[in-house]
Structure 1
């Protein structure tokens, strides 16, 4: 009996040792190559060649894109997520978090808790802010869902949608097909790609609009609901974890459609609404509070590369309510239906905060409301004048 067990146990020990040797080689090599690639990437884009060609960005060729996609970014992201989850000594926490805040310009005065209360760097990333640190504009029909930088905004007229100026991604790949019965019927009747955009609208007289917000490492990493909305279902797309830094987005088209993302499909008072949280390099995970089953950046891949869908039974979320959090920075993409007089009160590249209004009335709408107010004032004045008239 002992003779039978001995070779089995020696094989197991040898197998475990081989795995240990492999991991000791793979992990440092993967991290080293990733750091080298990022450094070389930044150098090439800063010094290697000019960025703009005929007022447009110079896109990366297929070889460079393929090499970049082959980097072990998912592995390094999980390692980085593990490192940032290690509990830090209480005495070192204020020093380390203060150092991080100085580098990435994080505002420590708006944090609700003392710095020593955050056990690790991830918990500091998703820190809770003081009450009323982000006041919600009650008069706005649409507010900013996150703190960050506005990368792009505007109407969507085709399936080629801007991710930054001059560089696009495919909307149909980003959202997937068959979002509802109406969409399914429309796509069956129309084969042109641009009909996909029209099929999303509840009201054919409306338009589809987009807003992209990039969360930098120093930003508040929780994201909120931009309006009162109901969520029908969620789609989780497995994919790459490429960097969503604006410098990378300028050179790599279709990046949003390649990256891992979770898209929540629903409605608001204006019609169709898609709320997407896009993964990125070193994002440990994405958490959504109303979706407990969501698990991103997992070791085991899904059965297929197709999206995984889950129903949320028309979950209601009020404007300004907490929606979820990034376990490091990333990007929010809003796609929503609104009337044709919807106007963004934003500028590309500006910094916005949660609760800040996104829209303003068009000039025609403002003139109309001004005329209505003038008529109301005149009618009230006329009524008061009639009261004091002598009666015969």
Structure 2
């Protein structure tokens, strides 16, 4: 009954309004109050501050600075083998496996459309149909910066407006099409081995999604799909190396990574496995 109520409440609450208000509070420099909130959060979610570049709570002027904290240098070594992809985030595997033509598995009884996830353009989705996907959940205690699994050239960024349901395991198991209905930022890259996409999915009280090349993408949220294209062969080409930071969440969420068919094989992970940035994520096929 309690879980049923938690799900139904999400349909009723003004999720965008709540999320933006929380975002305002998280960006406020409130001195001792900010420090007290950070300490409470650390205790509540058992955050391991020994991994942080700056472990003292009073170092952070705002809650957002704390939430997007950097890790100590060298703490997450990036796998060096050029034939292996690096895990992009600290988190937990929600699901991963094959894309069944245009269908991605969310949870028992729930699938969603790849094309819808990537913004509704069939031409954008076509290269990934029949490929591989991995959905990784970032909990409140996790490191919230996203890094590149392999070298890539940015070709497209798409902002897709949508809901802001929670993306925790309970909601994932009960809200149909969750990741294809929440607000999200789709990043498409080309590599020497094929295309890959990293989708940054928003959620309740996620105050902001940012990329390193564009800064804050949302908010402002907007009501329409927005599509930016980037040159592949010019002085303005955006190339990011394996392990390099590509974006971040201000408050936690989920990423969905998609790969072309016959491009990669995952490294034996399964639903519920803990992930760590830089560890072996997948292996390139010959």
TM-score class, shorter-chain normalisation, is 0.7 to 0.9
CA contact (8 A) 2:110 2:176 kept: yes
Measure, in 2, the Cα distance between the counterparts of 1:257 and 1:41.
26
Larger radius of gyration: 1
Written as runs of structure 1 = structure 2, the 5 A alignment for 1:235-274 is: 235-274=158-197
Please state which structure has a larger fraction of its residues in helix.
Answer: 1
Match of 2:47 among 91, 106, 111: 106
Post-superposition shift, 1:267? 1.6
Residues 343 and 287 (structure 1), Cα distance of their counterparts in 2 relative to 1, 3 Å cut: closer
Written as runs of structure 1 = structure 2, the 5 A alignment for 1:90-129 is: 93=35, 96-113=37-54, 114-129=56-71
Alignment correspondent of 1:163: 106
Match of 1:136 among 37, 58, 78: 78
Number of equivalences? 278
Alignment correspondent of 1:275: 198
Residues 234 and 179 (structure 1), Cα distance of their counterparts in 2 relative to 1, 3 Å cut: farther
Match of 2:209 among 286, 293, 309: 286
Matched, 1:298 2:220: yes
Post-superposition shift, 1:236? 0.3
Measure, in 1, the Cα distance between the counterparts of 2:230 and 2:32.
40
Alignment correspondent of 1:200: 127
Alignment correspondent of 1:71: 13
CA contact (8 A) 2:19 2:205 kept: yes
Residues 162 and 266 (structure 1), Cα distance of their counterparts in 2 relative to 1, 3 Å cut: same
Post-superposition shift, 1:170? 1.3
Which SS does the other structure have where 1:179 is aligned? helix
Alignment correspondent of 2:123: 179
**CA deviation profile, 1:262-299 (whole Å, cap 9, x unmatched):** 1011222331211100000000010101123x531326
**CA deviation profile, 1:321-362 (whole Å, cap 9, x unmatched):** 011110100000000125377243212101111101112589
What is the RMSD computed on CA atoms of the aligned residues?
2.5
Which SS does the other structure have where 2:199 is aligned? strand
Measure, in 2, the Cα distance between the counterparts of 1:246 and 1:227.
27
CA contact (8 A) 1:213 1:332 kept: yes
Which SS does the other structure have where 1:236 is aligned? strand
**CA deviation profile, 1:66-102 (whole Å, cap 9, x unmatched):** x844531000001111112221325972x54333212
Matched, 1:311 2:229: yes
Q: Which runs of 5+ in 1 are unaligned?
A: 1-39, 46-59, 181-195, 366-392
Measure, in 1, the Cα distance between the counterparts of 2:140 and 2:37.
15
Measure, in 1, the Cα distance between the counterparts of 2:217 and 2:284.
40
Which SS does the other structure have where 2:179 is aligned? helix
Post-superposition shift, 1:161? 0.9
Measure, in 1, the Cα distance between the counterparts of 2:49 and 2:87.
21
**CA deviation profile, 1:117-172 (whole Å, cap 9, x unmatched):** 21011110000111011110112521111111100011112222112344211111
Measure, in 2, the Cα distance between the counterparts of 1:343 and 1:320.
17
Post-superposition shift, 1:246? 1.1
Q: Compute the TM-score of the two structures, normalised by the length of structure 2.
A: 0.88
Q: Compute the TM-score of the two structures, normalised by the length of structure 1.
A: 0.65
Q: Which runs of 5+ in 2 are unaligned?
A: 233-237
- Deviating beyond 4 angstroms after TM superposition, the runs of 4 or more aligned structure 1 residues are none
Measure, in 1, the Cα distance between the counterparts of 2:197 and 2:51.
30
Post-superposition shift, 1:207? 5.1
